[in-house]
A and B are shown apart, each in its own frame.
Chain A
Amino acid sequence: GAGVSQTPSNKVTEKGKYVELRCDPISGHTALYWYRQSLGQGPEFLIYFQGTGAADDSGLPNDRFFAVRPEGSVSTLKIQRTERGDSAVYLCASSLSGSSGELFFGEGSRLTVL
């Protein structure tokens, strides 16, 4: 499709497990962002990629969270030793270059940690 695609749309896991969330951005978009959205809150920044490199990872809450974008397209957000507080909707967005601030969002991956 032409939009940002995120998989899985829903993920239920147990506390302590490892989780991967995938984002396929719009073709040709060099900038890719991960945000986290808790109930009743706005998107909270996690990490920003420009090409293959993480240009800003200051929003990652701790070292259990990691993200990669090895070929400058698809990105994977990885969460180790999940905790109940990690439950949220994880949003991915892409932007043509990152210089305009205009983001195109996927529908999100809802993570529930039991």
Chain B
Amino acid sequence: AQSVTQPDIHITVSEGASLELRCNYSYGATPYLFWYVQSPGQGLQLLLKYFSGDTLVQGIKGFEAEFKRSQSSFNLRKPSVHWSDAAEYFCALFSGGSYIPTFGRGTSLIVHP
């Protein structure tokens, strides 16, 4: 079975500070991995994705994520957070075995001015 764990329910950062949101996955092989962002009242929007190759992937809005096979992790990072980044962030896993993307429970990002 495949699963995604986002250990932090809430993360609070000051505007301008760096950010790292954690994501761990469980799957027997290398899956496809995604980060989505959901602003209040909005649908989920894709930030970035990892399929294969370079383990550091760049996304929209200045986000990046690093795939670490040894740690089964795919953490999301941003060097300087803006107030508009306050939202819910979801990590997701996809494998060719099931064709059903599996989502973590999400991390709520709070940005202080």
Query: Which residues of A come within 8 Å of B, CB atoms?
Result: 4, 31, 33, 35, 40-45, 48, 50, 55-56, 59, 91, 93, 98-108
With beta carbons under 8 angstroms apart, the residue of A4, A33, A40, A102 that contacts B46 is A102
**In the assembled complex, which residues on chain B have CB atoms less than 8 Å from the CB atom of A45?**
100-102
Residue contact A99 to B43, C-beta cutoff 8 Å? no
Query: Which residues of B come within 8 Å of A, CB atoms?
Result: 4, 6, 9, 32, 34, 36, 41-46, 49, 51, 90, 92, 94-96, 98-106
Residue contact B99 to A48, C-beta cutoff 8 Å? yes
Number of A-B contacts (CB under 8 A): 65
What secondary structure prevails in chain B residues at the interface with A?
A: loop
Residue contact B43 to A91, C-beta cutoff 8 Å? yes
Residue contact B99 to A105, C-beta cutoff 8 Å? no
Report the separation of the CA atoms of residues A80 and B4 in the bound assembly, to the nearest whole angstrom.
31
With beta carbons under 8 angstroms apart, the residue of B34, B94, B96, B103 that contacts A42 is B103
**In the assembled complex, which residues on chain B have CB atoms less than 8 Å from the CB atom of A44?**
103
**In the assembled complex, which residues on chain B have CB atoms less than 8 Å from the CB atom of A35?**
103
Given contacts A45-B101, A101-B49, 12 further A-B contacts (CB under 8 A): A4-B43, A40-B106, A43-B90, A45-B102, A59-B100, A93-B44, A99-B99, A101-B32, A101-B92, A101-B94, A103-B46, A105-B44
